[in-house]
Amino acid sequence: MYSYDMTLSQKVFLAQFDAIKKIASEESCVIVGRCADYVLRDNPNVVNVFICAPMEDKIKRVIDYYGIKPEKAASYIVKKDKKRKGYYNFYTDMDWGKASNYDLCINSRIGIEGCVDTIVDYTKRRFNLE
């Protein structure tokens, strides 16, 4: 199925690519990350969303959610975002976080419920579901 001269990372990406396409073809779903916007770019029934946050909000989140020490939180976030950006940019030849790559970009400063409401409202309007 996959070439022997591919790296393990490339094989994993292609396996994820296939899994994302399969799941999206069978049912409604929410896929976070894994370049799903790129994988499903030709699917007309997809809403691609990028959610960003100010650094101070990210720091609070990783401290509260992951239990990271406050003095290590900022460097943890920078490393994670750098890895995400590198992965996305490498496999898609697109720019991670660039607004024109997404249908909707939301600043999570409006809270989780605000983000959910915004995505639901956009989706209803886009697909004339009201």
Domains defined along the chain, listed by start = 1-46 (no CATH), 47-130 (3.40.50.300)
pTM over 0.85? The answer is yes
pLDDT string in tens for the chain (130-residue length):
566 788 998 999 999 999 999 999 999 999 999 999 999 999 999 999 999 999 999 999 999 999 999 999 999 999 999 999 999 999 998 999 999 999 999 999 999 999 999 999 999 999 999 7
Would you state the structure tokens that stand for residue 105, as one six-digit string?
């970009």
- The region, left, alpha or beta by phi > 0 then psi within -120 to 50, assigned to residue 128 is left
Would you state the structure tokens that stand for residue 70, as one six-digit string?
């406050």
38-56 in b/e form (b: 16+ CB < 10 A) is: bbbeeeeeebebebebeee
pLDDT for the residue 130? 78
pLDDT for the residue 6? 87
